[in-house]
Structure 1
Amino acid sequence: MALSIEFIPAEIVLPLAGYWVSKGDMTLAGAVFAGSLGGVSGPLVLYGIGRLGGRPFLLKYGKYIWIKPETLQKSDDFFQKHGGLVAFSGRFIPGIRTLISLPCGIAKMNVWVFSLYTYAAMLPITFAYVYLGMKLGENWKNVGSILDQYMLPLGIFIAVLLVSYIVLKRRKQRVKTENISQFVKKVKR
């Protein structure tokens, strides 16, 4: 339940749950399932804030932080195409993990897609924190510092994969468009 409050770090709550698993107070599967659900409900609150209040706020005050309506439209288009992957990969980067929900909501990304990708990302993260907390027992407080050193490189790796995918997809689309243009020119001759 504590993970539903987005600002209570999973790095604290989940290793503690792992410690309780090691003591027999709960099961590993139950802790991972509950932690993953909590890891979705908290981001859903921020998603809702972004969806309900983010766009009007940015349309009114965005000009003061260099956000134009055209920029919002480009963001919407991007999230329509790649929002699920962004929601998924952003969960692996500490700091971004919390903030990624707001632009997903502002772009009005499909809430079910957002929830599915968030859950898919939270499942391995939750398992890692709970499992390490379980293995470290009384030293469960050290899990955050141990796991964070791996999460940032993993997040960067996923972000590079995402950018590569987008670049390759755009390149493929551009080549396809160029081929169509060349074909039309040949037909007109």
Structure 2
Amino acid sequence: MLTFAEKTKCIIHKYEKGEVMAIEELVMSWIEAFKSLSYFGIFLALCIEFIPAEIVLPLAGYWVSKGDMTLFGAVLAGSLGGVAGPLTLYWIGRYGGRPFLERFGKYLFIKPEALDKSDEFFKKHGGFVAFSGRFLPGIRTLISIPCGIAKMNVWVFSFYTFIAMLPITFVYVYLGVKLGENWKEVGSILDQYMLPIGIAILALFLLYLLIKKRKKRTHSEQLSVFFKNKR
């Protein structure tokens, strides 16, 4: 039997020859290696952002179905790993992206006032952005960077990311348990629903902002009329 290092070397050699399945094989070999670390292995796999949660979590569900771990442990490890991975990108945004934009933003037509407005927006609505972004394929990974750039409170970011990841992780792992050896189908099944759910959440948020803005405008108009009548 090949060792993990030998298997990795073989897969990289395949990739250099242009065999497209090599990257997926490499990811799977890493995940299999993490399996020996049990729950900590799930956590570590999800800390590495380019390893898709859509592979790790259903596979963890398959391991649960085989009795290798518990559903509770797999969901908890997956949820915590789902926070630790985005936190890495958050810190990159905060200590890398922010100074870069402050120094070179003018060349990208990004004014300091725009950064200030972004900070203000994330102070008010950052939690919702961090939460809803987890439901949008393609955005869920990148959303952490603007949260860091805007200097969103790290505890608020972590809390809302965890609150979002908990149900997502549960669904992926649970379906992995139910589908068993067909766990690879989970990702394609859920991808049909994640985008509509994310869009619905964003639509509700925009509706909330619109209603709030109209209420504020109405209140200002009422105050204006009141003071005019006082005169």
TM-score (norm. length: structure 2): 0.78
2:178 to 114, 131, 135: 135
1:56 Cα offset (Å): 1.3
Which residue identity lines up with residue 166 of structure 2 in the other structure? Answer: L
Partner of 1:100: 143
1:18-51 residue CA offsets vs partner (Å, 9 max, x unmatched)? 0000100011111000000000001111111111
SS class of match (1:99): coil
Partner of 1:183: 226
1:110-163 residue CA offsets vs partner (Å, 9 max, x unmatched)? 111111100000001001110111111111111111111100000000010111
1:77 to 104, 117, 120: 120
Larger Rg: 2
Which residue identity lines up with residue 71 of structure 1 in the other structure? Answer: A
RMSD of aligned residue pairs (Cα, Å): 1.1
1:55-101 residue CA offsets vs partner (Å, 9 max, x unmatched)? 11112233344322222122111111111011100110011101111
The one of the two structures with greater contact order (alpha-carbon pairs below 8 A, sep at least 6) is 1
State how far apart, in whole Å, the 1-side matches of 2:98 and 2:224 are: 38
Partner of 1:45: 88
- Which protein has the bigger helix share? 1
State how far apart, in whole Å, the 1-side matches of 2:139 and 2:186 are: 19
Partner of 1:146: 189
State how far apart, in whole Å, the 2-side matches of 1:14 and 1:21 are: 10
Partner of 1:126: 169
1:22 to 65, 70, 86: 65
SS class of match (2:200): helix
Partner of 1:58: 101
State how far apart, in whole Å, the 2-side matches of 1:9 and 1:83 are: 24
State how far apart, in whole Å, the 1-side matches of 2:160 and 2:111 are: 28
Partner of 2:5: none
User: Does 2:76 align with 1:33?
Assistant: yes
Partner of 2:20: none
Which residue identity lines up with residue 155 of structure 1 in the other structure? Answer: G
1:4 to 32, 47, 68: 47
State how far apart, in whole Å, the 2-side matches of 1:121 and 1:12 are: 18
Number of equivalent positions? 188
Identity, % of aligned pairs? 75
Unaligned runs of at least 5 residues, structure 1: none
